[in-house]
């Protein structure tokens, strides 16, 4: 096995993991910043300075923006992060099974082998695309919710 054949998949996995870690780090940084701002507001109120209202107002404005941002992250996580992993796994498994004969006839010599090669390749691509679409949609998004009026 050549080292260059592994670099693509390894780079993809590393990039995906880095994206997950970065998203989680941003959320944790925002949570700690909110906590620090709350403790700063408490300390300012204990000091009883002349400019206390002005400083507390600035901290409260920053805190409001941070809380809105964190709520947006939470809503996006609850709404959009539900993925249909079984559909994606089934699609990749079926695509691997269907594309196995393509590996056996790596260099088709006759017209019917080329036809089978192209048909299996197209079918494998359609399987993967349908799996990705089902994965992106989520488990319950496709179901229509009917409300009864009465």
What residues contact residue 120 under an 8 Å CB cut-off, 6+ apart? 98, 99, 101, 102
Spatial distance between the Cα atoms of 130 and 136, rounded to a whole number of angstroms: 10
Q: How far is CA 17 from the centre of its chain?
A: 10
pTM of the entire predicted model: 0.40
Q: How confident is the model at residue 4 (pLDDT cuts 50, 70, 90)?
A: low
**Domain shared by 72 and 122, yes or no:** no
Yes or no: say if 102 and 120 are a contact pair by the CB < 8 Å rule: yes
- By residue range, what is the domain housing residue 140? 82-150
**Domain shared by 63 and 32, yes or no:** yes
**Domain shared by 122 and 71, yes or no:** no
**Domain shared by 64 and 89, yes or no:** no
> Last residue of a domain, which of 43, 62, 81?
81
**Domain shared by 76 and 106, yes or no:** no
Q: How confident is the model at residue 51 (pLDDT cuts 50, 70, 90)?
A: confident
> Residue 145: what pLDDT?
40
Token pair 């400019």 in the structure block, residue: 51
Q: How confident is the model at residue 75 (pLDDT cuts 50, 70, 90)?
A: confident
How many domains does the structure of the chain reveal?
2
Size of the chain in residues: 150
If you average pLDDT over each of 23-32, 43-52, 92-101, which comes out highest? 92-101
> Last residue of a domain, which of 58, 81, 104?
81
CA torsion through residues 6, 12, 13, 17, sign? positive
Yes or no: say if 117 and 105 are a contact pair by the CB < 8 Å rule: yes
Tokens linked to 146 = 């009917």
């Amino acid at each position: 096995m050549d080292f260059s054949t592994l670099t693509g998949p390894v780079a993809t996995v590393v990039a995906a993991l880095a994206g997950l870690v970065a998203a989680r780090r941003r959320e944790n940084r925002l949570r700690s910043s909110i906590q620090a701002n709350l403790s700063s507001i408490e300390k300012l109120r204990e000091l009883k300075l002349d400019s206390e209202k002005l400083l507390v107002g600035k901290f409260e404005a920053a805190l409001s923006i941070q809380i809105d941002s964190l709520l947006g992250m939470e809503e996006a996580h609850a709404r959009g992060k539900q993925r249909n992993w079984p559909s994606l796994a089934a699609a990749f498994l079926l695509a691997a099974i269907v594309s196995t004969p393509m590996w056996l006839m790596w260099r088709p010599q006759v017209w019917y082998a080329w036809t089978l090669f192209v048909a299996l390749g197209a079918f494998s691509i359609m399987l993967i695309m349908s799996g990705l679409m089902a994965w992106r949609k989520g488990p319950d998004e496709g179901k229509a919710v009917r409300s009864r009026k009465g």
